[in-house]
Amino acid sequence: MQDQEFWHNKWAENKIGFHLVDVNPLLPQFWPQVQPTQAQSVLVPLCGKSEDLTWLATQHKSVTGVELSNIAVRSFFAEHLYTPMVTSLSSQHELYQFDELSIYTGDFFTAPLESYDLIYDRAAMIALSPALRVQYVERLKSLIKPKGKILLIALDYDQSEMQGPPFNVSESEICQLYSDMKVTRLHRDEADDKHPKIQNGLSRFAEEVWLIEK
């Protein structure tokens, strides 16, 4: 699939501008609004080698990531000096486990996942093309437990002004794809004139945090 090759190439060439060296500050700021308990399981789709996995593992007994790239998953464990147990599940998926953390390598759409209480989506939905986003949301809905909640961090800009990824994911798209769930915008951080995206010609650019509840 073309999209998968795109991401494999990004990791192989270390072109990972989306990766943050620290925990995304929006996670500790807004995770309490999910009203999480330690016993609740968390899924982090398209997790990369995010530091957010480590933060979530300090809050929860079971955190599961899914990431296409072996390079990303191996780097995550190597950079933290963790030695995971690695299980080969099929020709396409492996499972890396270390304490509270489990990370599946391979395609999120076919990974042998269970169901989860909470989902954290940072730079996952916005990484996918519009057609894949429809399948992605269907997959998330099939993986979330009754009364489950999703914290989504998305971007809002005029798609005609810049090519994705990251893609614009508008309020109307979120409300339409999650029309059977309660959707609340918790936060909108509007870029000002000094922001590189505005200086590069975008007329607006905002990071938004959404709470999506069953």
Ligand X SMILES: C[S@@+](CC[C@H](N)C(=O)[O-])C[C@H]1O[C@@H](n2cnc3c(N)ncnc32)[C@H](O)[C@@H]1O
Residues interacting with ligand X, by CB under 6 A?
Answer: 3-4, 7, 18-19, 46-48, 50, 66-69, 72, 107-109, 122-124, 127
Q: Which is nearer to ligand X, 7 or 178 (CB)?
A: 7
Q: How far is the CB of 122 from ligand X (least distance, A)?
A: 4
Name the residue number minimizing CB distance to ligand X: 48
- DSSP-derived letter for residue 91 is S
Q: Which is nearer to ligand X, 155 or 211 (CB)?
A: 155
Length of the chain: 214
Q: Which is nearer to ligand X, 37 or 92 (CB)?
A: 92
Query: Please, which contacts does 105-113 make with residues 24 or more away whose CB atoms are closer than 8 Å?
Result: 105/67, 105/68, 105/69, 105/70, 105/73, 106/66, 106/68, 107/4, 107/68, 108/45, 108/46, 108/66, 108/68, 108/136, 108/139, 109/135, 109/136, 109/139, 111/66, 113/43, 113/64, 113/66, 113/143
Give just the sign of the alpha carbon dihedral 173, 176, 144, 30: positive
User: CA-CA distance, 45 to 120, in Å (whole number)?
Assistant: 7
Residues 139 and 111: beta-carbon distance below 8 Å: no
Q: How far is the CB of 19 from ligand X (least distance, A)?
A: 5
**Within 13 Å of residue 43, how many CA atoms lie on the same side as its CB?**
25
Q: Which is nearer to ligand X, 1 or 39 (CB)?
A: 1
Per the DSSP assignment, residues forming a β-bridge with 85 are: 97
Q: How far is the CB of 75 from ligand X (least distance, A)?
A: 11
Q: How far is the CB of 53 from ligand X (least distance, A)?
A: 9
Q: How far is the CB of 109 from ligand X (least distance, A)?
A: 6
How big is the CA angle at 134 (ends 132 and 137), to the nearest 5 degrees? 105
Q: Which is nearer to ligand X, 98 or 109 (CB)?
A: 109
Q: Which is nearer to ligand X, 82 or 109 (CB)?
A: 109
Q: How far is the CB of 30 from ligand X (least distance, A)?
A: 14
